[in-house]
Structure 1
Amino acid sequence: MPPTPQTSATRRIAYPRELALDPDKFREPRRPDCPWCGSRRLRTRLRTPDLLQRKPGTFVLDVCEDCGHTFQNPRLTAQGLAFHHRDFPHETLPLRILRTRAGRGRHLAVARAMLPYGEPESWLDVGTGYGRFPAAAREVHPYTAFDGTDPSARVERARALGRIEEAHRGRLPGLVERLRARYDVVSMLHHLEHSPDPREELRAALAVLRPGGHLLVEVPDPDCAFGALLGKWWLSYGQPRHLHLVPLRNLLGELDGLGCTVVSVDRRAPHVPYDLTGAVALRLAGRGFAPVLAVPFALDRALAPLLRRTRFSNSYRVLARR
């Protein structure tokens, strides 16, 4: 049930008090080096409040000047992540716009990307939530058994709705022994940016793949020019929920180091035409004015065929074979 204005106001009053009780439990110490390459050549890329929930705090994204990895620093602890996921307003206008990324048409397009490689027998969707991707992908792969993982109870709801066959609650690294070498395809669609350790997630994904299986990864592109143009109003920064933004070259290097063969890289099709609309929606969050979005909405879609061929493309997709 969505929160009422009264409950939202009550929560806004309670949040600072909760943070004040033990502020150290919500954030790790600030790290002096890059979690990807170890370089100490860091600079601050962004400082922003929580623009979606308006919970207290300022969040910092640092970027490594050697490898380009962008990461939250200091990072939220597990308790901090739980605090900022709690009462998450799934029906806010910016999040409705974000869900255009996860619409049925886009899900079908992702599923069709696997057609040249045959009909998989089994497919694991990591971070599946309510299982909307498997529900759509089944139309493209009707003979595939789809399972899902998610840290929340949403994955169990997905199974109850018949969108997946097996629900595995938890983070994938903790499920490896149960699922080892079981799947022909593992998909991570806009999942790695939420992970405390993207490399650990990639290793776990390969562990649950059968030899010759495929890993499908789609993530926001931190090299997207909209990040510099829109600053904190760029939806893909996603603070404080996005912990890592991995440049394409880093992901490709990691997959190569893990012994994978990269089958395809796509920086065009994954682009979602929502950057201008999302920025305006974030700016107006909580104040309505939906008609104002008509202009940026139209611009996003009119410019999409051009932007997806430039540095303004906001996502990329990698398909790799174990």
Structure 2
Amino acid sequence: MQWVECDLCGSSEVAVLFTQRDVRPPAPVQSFRIVECRGCGLLFLNPRPEAPEMAAYYPEVYYDDLESMGPRPARRSSSLRRLRKQVRRALLERFYGYPPTNPDPDSAWSPLPKIMETALLRLERCRLRVSGREAAIIPFVGEGRLLDVGCAGGKDLQRLQEMGWNVTGVEFSPTAASIARARLGCEISVGDFEQVALKDEAFDVVRFSHTLEHLPSPKRALEKAHRILRPDGLLWMEVPNAASLERWLFGRHWYCWDLPRHLYHFSPQTLARLVSSTGFRPVKIKCDGRTLFFRESLANAWKRWLGASPQPSKLLSLLARPVVYAMGAMNRGGILTIHARKDRPGADGSPGGRVSGRSDGATP
């Protein structure tokens, strides 16, 4: 086991929050503890397994899109699902700069009159804003280069590629990386992000989707991200929100502790401070929720209180959905998303100034 100092402020003064075993089967005997830095409030695992030991805590099934290795049952299509997909694509084209999928300007995605179509899109956009999920959208920059750090089997990258991005990824698991290559037809680098060779100022977007909390030094990772991003490039990150109502509701049973795989646990304040300390300018911070994570937290608590896990059900998800939505509307959801910019240098080579009122293309 390795003892570490706070990666954000360097302090070694910590307070122990709790000690807990890994909840993923097979349950090991070893316990792990979460501490809070007395200097800056960052939560992290301390002590933690050495790097060579960590691989044992990552079973293949940890990557949710590795199911593509085998045959998958056909998913029954529905008119509602197709409509939702069409609405989402039209929303991206109307408000976020994405290219049209149909080059015919007279071709409508829906049979509705234009005024009703616009009203429907604005209603959907309002729903995304209220729930906090608008922050999950990456503004389009015109076939820009996008790097996904921790891309797993490439499911998210495939969606981004279909939306017009020039994508590539970095993945620690060779198995997951090979699936991503087959899925995307592009190069996927294998290994630790800090060690992978990447050119300076080569990307328009660097994306960390539930990756930063796994890395041994988030600060070094963001310093590298700053180096490989072009001026005014976008850093997009999504991590569990350690200041969420979900975390306070479930306590040590919160699903996103995920010990010992999650080494760090960020609040909006600690993540914004980390981003600023590595040369970025935060432009958007939102906290929404995910029904899946809430349901898994409930299952962890249920097992602890009653000694048995509830069976996953659509009813449980439906009951959780309004709670998760309400938490997102209060900006206290379990998932924290941040957009940050690498400033353009000034005429004298100094960093550019703050861009007042910037909205990352989110304003029609």
Distance 1:174 1:230 in 2: 37
Distance in 1, matches of 2:340 and 2:41, equals 22
Partner of 2:16: 44
Q: Distance in 2 between matches of 1:249 and 1:164?
A: 39
Normalization by structure 2: what TM-score?
A: 0.67
Q: Is the 8 A contact 2:240 2:265 kept in 1?
A: yes
Deviation digits for residues 135-155 of structure 1 (CA, Å, limit 9, x no counterpart): 112232x2x211010111111
Counterpart Cα distance in 2 of 1:35 and 1:90: 25
Query: Relative to structure 2, which stretch is displaced further, 213-222 or 118-127?
Result: 118-127
Q: Which amino acid aligns with 1:277?
A: R
Aligned to 2:51: 78
* 2:181 maps to 1:159: yes
The equivalent residue for 2:215 is 195
> Residue 235 of structure 1: which of 246, 252, 255 is its match?
255
Deviation at 1:258, TM superposition (A): 2.9
Q: 2:151 aligns with which of 128, 138, 142?
A: 128
8 Å CA contact 1:156–1:169 kept in 2: the answer is no
Give 2:266's aligned residue. 246
Structure 2 letter corresponding to 1:165: C
Shift of 1:159: 0.7
Q: Which residue of 1 aligns with 2:341?
A: 321
CA RMSD of aligned residues (A): 3.0
CA distance in 1, matches of 2:232, 2:331: 32
TM-score, normalized by length of structure 1? 0.76
The superposition leaves residues 69-91 of structure 1 with CA deviations (integer Å, 9 ceiling, x where unpaired) of 01001011112211212x45449
**Distance in structure 1 (CA, Å) of the matches to 2:19 and 2:40:** 20
Post-superposition offset of 1:205: 1.2
**Partner of residue 169, structure 1:** 190
Q: What's the CA shift for 1:164?
A: 5.4
How many residue pairs match? The answer is 274
Give 4+ residue runs of structure 1 displaced > 6 Å after superposition.
108-112, 285-288
In structure 1, C-alpha distance between the alignment counterparts of 2:135 and 2:160, rounded to whole Å: 5
Contact 2:8 2:274 in 1 (8 A): no
1:81–1:272 Cα change, 3 Å: same
1:204 Cα offset (Å): 1.2
Which secondary structure does the structure 2 equivalent of 1:174 belong to? coil
1:1-322 equivalent positions in 2, closer than 5 A: 27-28=1-2, 30-31=3-4, 33-53=5-25, 54-85=27-58, 87-90=59-62, 113-115=137-139, 118-140=141-163, 142=164, 144-153=165-174, 154-161=176-183, 163=184, 165-175=186-196, 177-268=197-288, 271-282=289-300, 283-284=302-303, 289-290=310-311, 293-310=313-330, 312-322=332-342
The share of aligned pairs that are identical, in percent, is: 25
The CA distance in 1 between the partners of 2:205 and 2:21, in whole Å, is 37
Distance across 1 between alignment mates of 2:154 and 2:230: 22
Are the aligned partners of 1:252 and 1:262 in contact in 2 as well (CA < 8 Å)?
yes
Q: Is the 8 A contact 1:233 1:278 kept in 2?
A: no
How far 1:112 sits from its partner (Å)? 7.0
Where does the alignment leave 5 or more consecutive residues of structure 2 unmatched?
68-83, 93-132, 343-364
CA distance in 1, matches of 2:226, 2:9: 21
How far, CA to CA, are the matches of 1:34 and 1:182 in structure 2? 30
Contact 1:220 1:314 (C-alpha < 8 Å) held by counterparts? yes
Offset at 1:46? 2.3
Q: Say if 1:275 and 1:300, in contact at 8 Å, map to a contact too.
A: no
What is the alpha-carbon distance in structure 2 between the residues aligned to residue 65 and residue 111 of structure 1? 30
Q: 1:111 to 1:118 in 2, by over 3 A?
A: farther
Larger Rg, first or second structure (1 or 2): 2
Quickly say closer, same or farther: Cα 1:290–1:158, change in 2 above 3 A. same
How far apart are 1:307 and its partner, in Å?
1.1
Closer, same or farther in 2 for the Cα pair 1:88/1:48, shift >3 Å? farther
Q: What is the Cα deviation at residue 126 of structure 1?
A: 0.5
Is the CA contact 1:148–1:164 (under 8 Å) kept in the aligned structure 2? no
